[in-house]
Structure 1
Amino acid sequence: MAGGGYAWFTEDLALGLNFCLTYVRGVGPDAVLARVGGGKPVAVESAELVGRAQDVVADLEAGDAELALVAATAVGDWTVLFEPNGYLATYDSVVQALSARGELVSLYHNESTTPSFTWARDGSVVERAELDGDFQERTLARMEELSGVRLTAGLLRAAVFRCVAVPYPDPAFSTPSRKTLAAARRALRAFAADPDRSELLDVLWDERGVRDPRLRATGHLGAMLFTSASEAFRLLAGCDDAQLRAVVRWGRERVRAAAAGPIEPLPSEPLAAALHVVDLVAEVLGGRYDLMTDELRRALGGREPGQ
């Protein structure tokens, strides 16, 4: 079996550094997405654009709520699922649901964890293994042997993927609100219509009704904090530069007191620097972004923004 002609996959980082790739037999793309809790899918052309669309999902996550972007396309009697930076198909409940009355083969890779291969049939795992060495090439060849699906660079470029954002079935994560899931679909639709629109950020700020160029310039971190701690974000947005520098000093002290390690160099722009330290303090508090408004008011000594 050897590498089966899949050297291009690793050389080109065809699906990026972190991904989950799954083949499901006997179930069409929309039905597969429904089995993992997806709503009405959005069509996105090419795996490369699906990888970029992951940003829209990440930017909509709030607090402990995490979303998986799942993209599905039909290849013969099989459905190919691609999760950029995802791992939904590693959960036993998902493997069982997707392989029920059918079959599943899956490759999961993440730089920070141990890669794995899963083969399941009729809701039961037939084989699960941790991988090492040139595992991507060997595992793709094994998946082709089991499914008959030959993954090619041309297929990944030409395929139209049906995409949904769904929550992970993990009790450690909070459940995303309907509002968040609806916003994810709207943002995916906007991305599919115009993938080159300012790396999705214009779309996200438009969704939030934010027009101020200073706020929009805060980038992905600003968009995430606007979702996770909207009131705290607006509080910082109203601060003058002196107040923002005071927030940065306060944040450094909070992180230092928690022995959370040194703070990397911060942006020179005061609002961007303040947003970074707020994110760090929230991490120190166990991801409690909901506490940040009260924390910031204490950091400002009770003064209102701009005073």
Structure 2
Amino acid sequence: MSATASGYAWLTDRFPGLMEAYCLTLVEGLTPRKLLDRLGARQESRVRGTAELLEPAYDAWEDHDGERSFVGVTAVGDWALAVEPNGYLGTLDEVIVPLSRGTRLVSHFRNVNAVDHFFWLDDGVLRLHFEPLFPAHRDGSDPDGLVQVMRQVGFDLSDDDADYTVHTEAAFALAEHLTGVRLTPQFLESATYVCGTAPVPGRQAAVRESPPAG
């Protein structure tokens, strides 16, 4: 079955805490430990189930004043999946460009203020970036290569009066199309995550910014 937004209609009901503010990053060919190493993360714990990532993620913002971000990583097929509740490492050029060297990376993000992003990189090259709320406006080296697929998974590419009701679900579906990784409630509830905190590039101790999710 082709990936579509309707296949992710369960997201808000099953994972309301995560869907308030999240960043998911998929990197092909890396183990969870290798991904954490590339992030410069300190491995600190293991947890089972995505819900168990929420409290330590929010605690990390307070403990580190936003200078380090909590991330949990698990294996799914040939990919490593990094989950950041209330995080945004997977949106930073300083992180995702080197992380994608020699491989493929797909990430998507949203926060409580409805700010969202989707990235697809191959070997350090940004192929596609857009905001799921505004999918008609895209950039990257191949901004139009997935237009038909974007429509099929559920994005409304109209400039005016677009339907935004399933834009987050459509982002999950587009990530599935690009990676072949289909996330299910059962997987997210049972996966074992290797967890750690990674430095946030450019974050200075003297500058006390608020976390992106409020």
The structure with the greater share of residues assigned to helix is 1
1:59-81: CA deviation from partner (whole Å, max 9, x where unpaired): 3124xx52210110000100111
Cα shift at 1:99: 0.9
Counterpart residue number, 1:56: 59
More RCO (CA 8 Å, sep 6+):
2
Encode CA deviations 1:171-192: one digit per residue, 9 max, x unaligned: 5x229xxxxxxxxxxxxxxxxx
1:36 is matched with which residue: 13, 26, 39?
A: 39
Query: In structure 1, what is the equivalent of residue 157 of structure 2?
Result: none
- Counterpart residue number, 2:168: 136
Secondary structure of the corresponding residue to residue 151 of structure 1: coil
Aligned amino acid, residue 139 of structure 1: A
Q: Secondary structure at the match of 2:87?
A: coil
Match of 1:153 among 182, 185, 201: 185
Q: State the TM-score, normalized to the length of structure 2.
A: 0.75
Q: How far apart are residue 123 of structure 1 and its match?
A: 1.1
Aligned with residue 11 of structure 1, among 10, 13, 27: 13
Equivalent position SS for 1:89: helix
Within 5 Å, give how 1:173-184 maps onto structure 2: 173-174=204-205
Give ranges in structure 1 of 5+ residues lacking alignment: 176-285, 288-307
How many residues in Structure 1 have an aligned counterpart in Structure 2? Answer: 174
Structure 1 residues 130 and 55: alpha-carbon distance in aligned structure 2, compared to 1, 3 A threshold: closer
CA contact (8 A) 1:10 1:137 kept: no
- 2:86 maps to amino acid: N
Structure 2 counterpart of 1:73? 74
**Which of these two proteins has the greater Rg computed from alpha carbons?**
1
Give, in whole Å, the separation in 2 of the partners of 1:136 and 1:46: 21
Distance in 1 (alpha carbons) for counterparts of 2:48 and 2:54: 11
The 1-side partners of 2:13 and 2:46 are apart by 27
Q: State the identity %.
A: 33
Contact 1:23–1:105 (Cα < 8 Å) also in 2: yes
Q: Answer yes or no: is the 8 Å Cα contact 2:58–2:85 preserved in 1.
A: no
Shift, 1:136, TM fit: 1.2
Give the SS at the match of 2:43: coil
* AA matched with 1:38: A
Report the TM-score when normalising by structure 1.
Answer: 0.53
Partner of 1:97: 98
How much is the aligned-residue C-alpha RMSD, in angstroms?
1.8
Unaligned runs of 5+ in 2: 134-163, 209-214
Write out per-residue CA displacement over residues 84-113 of structure 1, whole angstroms, 9 at most, x where no aligned residue.
100011111211122111111111001225
Mapped pair 1:126 → 2:127: yes
What per-residue deviation string (whole Å, max 9, x for no partner) do you get for residues 239-267 of structure 1?
A: xxxxxxxxxxxxxxxxxxxxxxxxxxxxx
